[in-house]
Amino acid sequence: MQLAKGVEWTTHICAMLPLVPEGQGLSVDALADYFEVPSAYLAKQMQLLRRAGIVRSVRGKGGGYRLARSPDDITLLDIVTAIEGPMPAFRCTEIRQNGPCGLKRKDCKRPCEIASAFAVAEQTYREALQAKTLASVMQDAAMNSSPEHMVEIAGWVQRQVA
C-alpha cells in the first residue's frame, strides 16, 4: 500500500507554482530540472493535474504550466485524487458470499461490516487531506525557510521564463 511518487512530485510543484509571475508558465522540462525528476514521466503527471482542473497549460513557444486557481482553493486531496484516481484503497470482493457458508446475494444489499469500517477510516483520511490547502502548505514552508531562499527561487523562475 503506497502512494505513487507522482503525488510527492506534483504536490511540491503545486506549492511552488504560485511563484510564477502573472501571465507566464513553466515548462515540464523546467519543472523536472527543479526537482531532478524524470521529465517524460512528470509530463504525464502534469496532464493528470490539468484534466483535474488544478493547473492550466499553454502550448507553443513560451508556454508552460501554472496554477488554474487560487492556492487556498486547492487541497492535498485534490492532488491525490488527480494522480491516484478516486478508487478506495480497500476494495471489498464480497468473499462473504463465497464458500460452503456463503451468504445469498439478496442478503448482501448493505456493505459488510469490514468494508464499512475501512470506508470510515478512509473517509477520515480524505477529510484530513481536504482540510490542508496549498496556501496552508506554502505558509508552513515560508515559516521554516529564509527570505534569501525565496529570492533564489524567484530568480530561478525569472531565468526560466526569459
Partner DNA sequence: TTTTATCCGGATAAAGAATATCCGATTAAG
Partner DNA sequence: CTTAATCGGATATTCTTTATCCGGATAAAA
Name the site residues for its own copies (rule: CB under 8 A). 1-5, 7-9, 11-12, 15, 33-37, 76, 84, 87, 89-93, 95-96, 98-103, 110, 112-114, 116-118, 120-122, 124-125, 127-129, 132, 137, 140-141, 144-145, 149, 152-153, 156
Minimum CB separation of residue 15 from DNA in Å reads: 18
What is d(CA 68, CA 43) in angstroms, rounded to the nearest whole number? 17
Considering the complex, state which of residue 60 and residue 86 has its C-beta at the smaller distance from its own copies. 86
> At residue 85, what are phi and psi to the nearest 5 degrees?
90, 170
Longest dimension (CA), the chain: 70
Question: Residue 56: which H helix or E strand, with range?
Answer: strand 55-58
Q: Quick check: 44 and 50 in contact, CB under 8 A?
A: no
Q: Quick check: 83 and 97 in contact, CB under 8 A?
A: no
Interface positions, 8-47, toward DNA (CB under 7 A): 25-29, 37-41, 43-44, 46-47
Of positions 62, 88, 102, 111, contacts DNA by CB under 7 A? 62
